[in-house]
Structure 1
Amino acid sequence: MIRRIGLLVTGLLCVLLSAACVSLPEDGSIRAGSATATGSTDAGFPYDPRPPQPGETPIEIVRHFLDAMLATPTSTVVAKQFLSTTARAEWRPERQMITYQDFETPEGDDEVTLALTNAHHLDAGGRWRGALPEQASTIRFTMTTEGGEWRIGDLPDATIVSDEFFASRYQQVSLHFFDPTGKILVPEPAFVPRGGQLASALVRGLLQGTDPRLRDVAESFIPEGMSLDLSVPVSADGIATISLRGDDGALDADAVEQMAIQFAWTLRQDPAVRRLRILINDTPVALEDAPTVFDVDIGADHDPAEAYAWPDPFALRNGRLVSVAGEVEGRTDGPFGASTLGLRSVAVDLEGTRAVAVSTDGRSLLEAPVERTEGEGARTLVSGATDLLPPAWDHADRIWLVDRSAGGARVSVVIDGTNTPVRVPGISGADVSSYIVSRDGSRLAAVVSTPTGDVVMLSRLAGAGERPRATAAVRISPDTPEPVRINDIAWQSPTRILAVVPVARGISQVSSFPVDGSPATSGVRRAEGVVRQDIVELVASPVADTDVWGVAANGRVHDLRGERGAALPEPGLVSLGYVG
C-alpha cells in the first residue's frame, strides 16, 4: 500500500505533506520507501536532563523546565523539580499535550511569559486538536521562591514539548470503538508514546473513552470509570493481561463481547500481543462458549474496512457495468450490465449485490441488482438533481450523494429509498469536486475549492436513524506553500486518505494524510515518489494489501504500488472503483 508521497517539483515541495525527495520513476509507478520521522531526540537514545542548579534566574528555570520535558524515556520526574512544592502536587501534565515548533525568548521575573510558535495541542486521550488558539500560545508561569531558589509556582496542566520530540517519541495508533448500532468498529486516531509500553498506552487511551463531541458517532462498551492496574504485562508467548478496576454492573453478555473486541482490535497494533485476557476486579472475563484467553483477531465481522466485502472493483465499459479482476473483466447480467441505460458513474454496495448509477446528464440516480434477479429491473431513486457526483455506500446500505447545484454542494443520503438532505457545514454550499464516505459510515471527506486552492474537508457523520447528522467539517489536508488542485481522493485505510495532485504537465503527486489532520509522525512504512502520468482518478480500498491504481487522463490504468508486470485493466473503463 502507498503510505506517503514526497514532492519533487520545485515550488511544490510541501504540496500535501513534508516528505523526503526521491527520484522520478520512468515507468509511472511510485517507488516504495520508508521515511520515518527523525530528530536529535531519538527514541532509541536516553536523555537525562539536568535538574535545577543553584542561583538560576526565573527565565533559566523556565527554559530548563522545558528542556526537562524532553526526557527520554518520557518522564516528568526532573521537570517536577523545577516546580514549587505546591505546584508539584497540583500539576496534571496528562490533561493535554502542547507541541511547538519554536518559542521566543522568555520574558519576566515574577511572571515569565513564553510565546510558542506554530503550537498545536492534543487532549488527554491523545487525540489531535489542531492549532492552539493564538491567545493560548502564550504560556504564563507564575514564579515563587523556595529555600532562596526560584521555582515555578503556577503553570498550565499540560505536557509541553517540541515538534521534534513529539515526532520522535510518539506514534499514531487507532483506538477502536463501535458505531451507534454496535455493528461495526469505528477507529479513532490517537497518539501514544513509543517504546516498550505500547500495550499499556493503548489500553489507557481506550479507557479515556470516546470524544465527548462525538457521542452519536462512536461509543464504547467499556464501562465508564474503569481504571488500569499499573500496566499491561505481555508474556513471552504473547498474552497481554488487562487488569481493570471499577463498576462492571452494566455489562451483559453482549456488552462483554463488544468490550473484548474493542480491546482486541486496539491491542493487535502491538506486534508482541497475540492473545489477551481481561480481569475486572480480579475476576476473569469470559466470552460465551470461549475461554478466558482469546485471540486478538476476534470480531472480524466488525472490521471497519469491511475486509470481507466484495474484493474486486467495478466499472462501466461502453456504458455497461463490468466487474474487474486485474486484466480480466466480466460483464454483469443485471439491468446495468445487460443493456445501455445512459450511465456516467456507478457505485456498488459492499456485498457486491446492488448498484446505483448516475445518468449521463447527472440529474438522476438509478438502482438495480448487479446480477439478474427475477422481476427486478432498474428503478429511479432520485430525479431532478443538477449534477450528481459519483455516489457512495456505507456498511448500513445508506447511499450518500453530493449534488453540484448552482448554489453549491447539496449533501443527501438515501435510506430505504428515501432521499434526505444532510447539512454539512463547511461542505454544503461549497464548490465540491469529489468526495468519499468511510465504509463504517462515520466520516465524509470532500475536496473543496477555495480562493487559495483545493483543500480536503472532513465531517463526522452522527446518528444511525433515518435522519443522520453531520458535524462541521474541518480541514485535514496539510497547508501548502501555494495553491494546488486536487484531482481525486480515496481511502488508503480506515484512518488515512490518498490524494492526487497535478504538479506539472504529465506528472502527478500522490500523497496520504491521516483523517484527523495531524502531522504524519506515525512511523509506518510508506511509499514516496511521483508518477509520470496525468492521474485524474484514484482506485484504492481501505483493506490492506489491495491493488492501488491510478487512472490517467487518457483512460489508461497504472499500478501505483510499483509492481512490475502487474495485471491491469484495458484502457477505456469509466468510474472504476472498489465497492462502497
Structure 2
Amino acid sequence: MNGRRRLARVPVLVPVLLLGLLLAGCAGLPDTGTVHLEQPRQQVEDEAPVDFTPAGPVVGAPPVEIVRGFLVAMQATPINTSVARQFLTAESNQRWVPENGTIVYDTETRTVRGSTVVLSLDHTVDLDSRGRWKGRAGDQRFRLRMVQEKGQWRISNPPDRLIIPESHFQTRFTQYSLYYFDKGADVLVPEPVYVPTGAQASTFLVAALLAGPEQDQLGVERTFLPAGTRLDDISVPVVQDGTAVVPLSDEVLDLDGDRLDMALAQIGWTLRQVPGIERMRITVDGSPLSLPGAGTEVPLDTWPEFDPSVSWASQALFGIRKGRVVTLTGGQERRVSGAFGSLDLGAVRVAVDLAGEQVAVTTDDGEVLVAKRSRVPGTTPTPDDVSTGYSGGTDLLTPVWDLYDQLWVLDRTAGGALLTVVRSGQAATVQAPGISGEDVRSLLLSRDGTRLVAEVAQGGRERVLLARVQRDGEGRVRQVLPAREVRLGGLNVRTIRDLAWRTPVSLALLTAPSAGTSQVVVAKVDGSSTAAESTTDAEVFQGVATDLVTAPVLSAPLLILGPDGQMFSLSTSGRWTGAGIRPGLRAPTFVG
C-alpha cells in the first residue's frame, strides 16, 4: 500500500451548495429497482424521474380511501413520507418507522371489515433497510385498524415498511453497490442495493455505506470508516461541475495514513457509479479536507488498485491444444514456455492464477498438477518443475485460483461434491453447506474471493447456488456460509451448460432454450433480475455450445465454444461471429 495519501483540513471559504435535499420524514433505502448490468462507470444516465407530490387525506374520506391514499403517498418522488404520515393517527405517526425496509407488490386489494381494512398485497418482494434484495415473499396481508381523530378516519397500526407497487420501483429505483473491503484489505467487495434514482442517490448510498457491513457479513468483509461516522448534514449534494460534497462527522479525523485512504476509496467507489459524479469533496464541520497531490476535490477514479475485478489480473486467454497449455494474446497463439507447454502431462482442464504466472491442470488420473507458466531462462522444463496439488480424485472440475494464490478444487465423488482448498501445497477439505455432497456441475469464485458459486443439479432441475466465504486477514478460509439459490428472473431455464462471471455482481449463463440451440442470459447475484433484464442482446446461437468464456471486466469478450471445436464471439450487433481462433482449442479460460 505504497503511496497512500493523507487528507488535511483547510478553511472553507464558500458555502456548500446543497441539491436534492431529503425532506423531513424521508423513508429508508428502498430495495428494488431497475437493474444495470454494466459496470458502474459505463452506465448511461437515465432521464430523471418526474417529481410527484401526492395529495393528503380528503375530508370525510371513508377508511378504504384513506388506505388507498396512504399507499399512493408512499410513492412520492423525490422520496419522502411527510404526506403519507398525514393518513396516520397522531400516535402511530410517532411510532411509524418505514426505514425498516420495503415491500414491493404486484397488485393490491382493500377489504373493509368493520373498523378494519384488510390490505392484501400479491406477489411481493422484501428489501431490507439498506436496500438489499431479500427475495420474494409471496402474498402478504395486513389488518389495518382504523380510528377516528377529530372526525376523520386514520390508520393506527401501519406496517413499519415502505410499501410501493412494482411499477413504481421499476421506474424510480436503481441498483448500485456499496463497497467494503475484503478481510485482507486487498480489494473492494461490492454489495448490491437499490436506492432512489436521481438527486437522492448519492445521499442514500453514502448513508448506507456509513452503516457498515451487515452483521451476517462481518466475517466476509470490513470497513475502514470508523463506527459512528455519519452524515453531518441532510444530504450529499452534487454541484454542477460533478463534485459530490460529502459532509462527515468528525470520527473520520481519527483515521490516519493508509486507513484514511482506504476509507475514502470506499466512498469514492460507491459514488463513482452515480451518473454525473466525477469527483468528491469531503467536509468536516463545514471545512473541506485536502488530499496531498489532489487538493480538496478528489477524482473518483483515484483508487484503481482496489478494483473488485482486480486491475492487475492478466487479460490473456488460455486453453489446451494437443495436450499442451497455450495462451492467446493480441490474436497470437503460442504454447506457454513452462512445463505444461513443453511436456504432454495429460492436461484435461486448465486454470491460471490471476497474475497469469501459475498454471494448474487436471488429469484423467484424478490429479491436479501445478507449475509455473514460464520456464527459467536458460533452462529446459522437466517433470521436476511440476508439483501435485491434489491426487486421488474421481471426477475433477476446473480448479479455481483465488486472490491469495490458493487453489480451489472440487471433486465429484460417489458421495457428491468434495471441496478442497490448496494453500502453499497443503490441501484442506472445506465444508460448503448446500454445495458439499451435492451433484455440482460447475464451480466459480469471484475475484474478490468472497462469493462461491456452484451449478447444482437437484430434484430434476439445475440451480445456481451462491455462498459467502469468510477468511482471516491473510486470506485463509475460515468458513463457507450456507449457500442460497440465485433466482434467474423468471426465466424457464431447464439446462445450464456453463456459467461465468460477467461483472463482479452478475453471472453469465450458457443455457439451452431448445434442442440444438444455445443462449446466454445474465443473472444478478442477489437474485433480483427480471426476465427482461436477464436476456442479453445476443441472438440465440443455432448449435450446441459447450463452454462459455468471459471475465468480469467490460473489455473482456464473450466467447462460446460451439460444435466442431470452433469458438464464436459476441459482436456489438448481438450476433455470434467467428472468434478468429483455430478450431480444436479445449478448455478455454481466462485467469481465476
> Under a length normalisation based on structure 1, what TM-score does the superposition of the two structures give?
0.88
- Letter of the structure 2 residue corresponding to residue 153 of structure 1: S
Cα deviation for residue 407 of structure 1 reads: 1.1
Q: Distance in 2 between matches of 1:520 and 1:280?
A: 41
Cα deviation for residue 74 of structure 1 reads: 2.6
1:339 equivalent to 2:351? Answer no
Q: Which residue of 2 is the match for residue 311 of structure 1?
A: 315
Q: Which residue of 2 is the match for residue 253 of structure 1?
A: 257
Deviations 1:156-188 (A, max 9, x none): 211011111111111110111100111110011
Map 1:485-496 onto structure 2 (within 5 A). Answer: 485-496=495-506
Q: Which residue of 2 is the match for residue 140 of structure 1?
A: 143
CA contact (8 A) 1:173 1:522 kept: no
Q: Which moved more, 1:429-438 or 1:480-489?
A: 480-489
Cα deviation for residue 288 of structure 1 reads: 5.7
- Letter of the structure 1 residue corresponding to residue 236 of structure 2: V
1:436 equivalent to 2:440? Answer no
Q: Which moved more, 1:420-429 or 1:489-498?
A: 420-429
Give SS of 1:131's match.
strand
Deviations 1:174-224 (A, max 9, x none): 111100111110011111110123322321221222121000111111112
Q: Distance in 1 between matches of 2:375 and 2:43?
A: 48
CA contact (8 A) 1:535 1:550 kept: yes
Q: 1:308 to 1:520 in 2, by over 3 A?
A: farther
CA contact (8 A) 1:100 1:117 kept: yes
Q: Which residue of 2 is the match for residue 409 of structure 1?
A: 417
Deviations 1:464-495 (A, max 9, x none): 35343111111113265756010111011100
Q: Which residue of 1 is the match for residue 91 of structure 2?
A: 86
Cα deviation for residue 523 of structure 1 reads: 8.2
Q: Which residue of 1 is the match for residue 408 of structure 2?
A: 400
CA contact (8 A) 2:320 2:326 kept: yes
Q: Which moved more, 1:100-109 or 1:404-413?
A: 100-109
Give SS of 1:355's match.
strand
Q: Which residue of 1 is the match for residue 590 of structure 2?
A: 578
Q: Which moved more, 1:394-403 or 1:183-192?
A: 394-403
Q: Which residue of 1 is the match for residue 478 of structure 2?
A: 468
Deviations 1:427-467 (A, max 9, x none): 11111111110011000111111224111110011113534
Cα deviation for residue 521 of structure 1 reads: 10
Give SS of 1:77's match.
coil
Q: Which moved more, 1:206-215 or 1:488-497?
A: 206-215
- Letter of the structure 2 residue corresponding to residue 295 of structure 1: P
Give SS of 2:319's match.
strand
Q: Distance in 2 between matches of 1:456 and 1:116?
A: 28
Give SS of 2:528's match.
coil
Give SS of 2:565's match.
coil
1:371 equivalent to 2:379? Answer no
Q: Distance in 2 between matches of 1:524 and 1:551?
A: 21
CA contact (8 A) 1:59 1:108 kept: no
Q: Which residue of 2 is the match for residue 484 of structure 1?
A: 494
Give SS of 2:93's match.
helix
Q: Which moved more, 1:259-268 or 1:53-62?
A: 53-62
Q: Which residue of 2 is the match for residue 22 of structure 1?
A: none
Q: 1:528 to 1:274 in 2, by over 3 A?
A: same
Give SS of 2:263's match.
helix
Q: Distance in 2 between matches of 1:35 and 1:466?
A: 35
Q: 1:35 to 1:439 in 2, by over 3 A?
A: closer
- Letter of the structure 1 residue corresponding to residue 179 of structure 2: H
CA RMSD of aligned residues (A): 2.7
Q: 1:168 to 1:504 in 2, by over 3 A?
A: same
- Letter of the structure 1 residue corresponding to residue 101 of structure 2: Q
Q: Distance in 1 between matches of 2:249 and 2:452?
A: 37
Structure 2 counterpart of 1:195, from 190, 195, 198: 198
Q: Which moved more, 1:420-429 or 1:271-280?
A: 271-280
Give SS of 1:115's match.
strand
CA contact (8 A) 2:360 2:371 kept: yes
Cα deviation for residue 426 of structure 1 reads: 1.3
Higher RCO, 1 vs 2 (CA within 8 Å, ≥6 residues apart): 1
Give SS of 2:341's match.
helix
Q: 1:72 to 1:526 in 2, by over 3 A?
A: farther
1:568 equivalent to 2:580? Answer yes
CA contact (8 A) 1:488 1:536 kept: yes
Deviations 1:129-170 (A, max 9, x none): 112376xx2223232211111101122211011111111111
Cα deviation for residue 524 of structure 1 reads: 11
Give SS of 1:171's match.
strand
Map 1:354-369 onto structure 2 (within 5 A). Answer: 354-361=358-365, 363-369=366-372
- Letter of the structure 1 residue corresponding to residue 436 of structure 2: S
CA contact (8 A) 2:100 2:161 kept: yes
Q: Which moved more, 1:419-428 or 1:63-72?
A: 63-72
Cα deviation for residue 353 of structure 1 reads: 0.5
CA contact (8 A) 1:59 1:109 kept: no
Q: 1:124 to 1:83 in 2, by over 3 A?
A: same
Structure 2 counterpart of 1:514, from 524, 543, 548: 524
Map 1:105-120 onto structure 2 (within 5 A). Answer: 105-120=110-125
Cα deviation for residue 525 of structure 1 reads: 11
Q: Distance in 2 between matches of 1:111 and 1:43?
A: 38
Q: Distance in 1 between matches of 2:81 and 2:503?
A: 35
Q: Distance in 1 between matches of 2:127 and 2:532?
A: 15
Deviations 1:299-354 (A, max 9, x none): 21111101321111111111101001364201111011111100100000011110
Q: Distance in 1 between matches of 2:386 and 2:339?
A: 6
1:231 equivalent to 2:231? Answer no
1:530 equivalent to 2:530? Answer no
Q: Which moved more, 1:409-418 or 1:231-240?
A: 231-240
Q: Which moved more, 1:151-160 or 1:557-566?
A: 557-566
Q: Distance in 2 between matches of 1:333 and 1:533?
A: 35
Q: Which residue of 1 is the match for residue 279 of structure 2?
A: 275
CA contact (8 A) 1:35 1:526 kept: no
Deviations 1:345-387 (A, max 9, x none): 00000111101111124x1111000011368601101111211
Map 1:418-457 onto structure 2 (within 5 A). Answer: 418-457=426-465
Q: Which moved more, 1:244-253 or 1:271-280?
A: 244-253
Give SS of 1:469's match.
strand
Q: 1:116 to 1:524 in 2, by over 3 A?
A: closer
Q: 1:304 to 1:217 in 2, by over 3 A?
A: same
Q: 1:574 to 1:438 in 2, by over 3 A?
A: same
1:186 equivalent to 2:196? Answer no
Q: Which residue of 2 is the match for residue 26 of structure 1?
A: none
Give SS of 1:164's match.
helix
CA contact (8 A) 2:188 2:306 kept: yes
- Letter of the structure 2 residue corresponding to residue 419 of structure 1: A
Map 1:45-84 onto structure 2 (within 5 A). Answer: 45-84=50-89
Cα deviation for residue 535 of structure 1 reads: 1.7
Q: Which residue of 2 is the match for residue 244 of structure 1?
A: 248
Cα deviation for residue 272 of structure 1 reads: 1.6
Q: Distance in 2 between matches of 1:157 and 1:495?
A: 29
Cα deviation for residue 545 of structure 1 reads: 2.1
CA contact (8 A) 1:358 1:388 kept: yes
Give structure 2 stretches of 5+ with no counterpart: 1-33, 36-41
Q: Distance in 2 between matches of 1:553 and 1:289?
A: 55
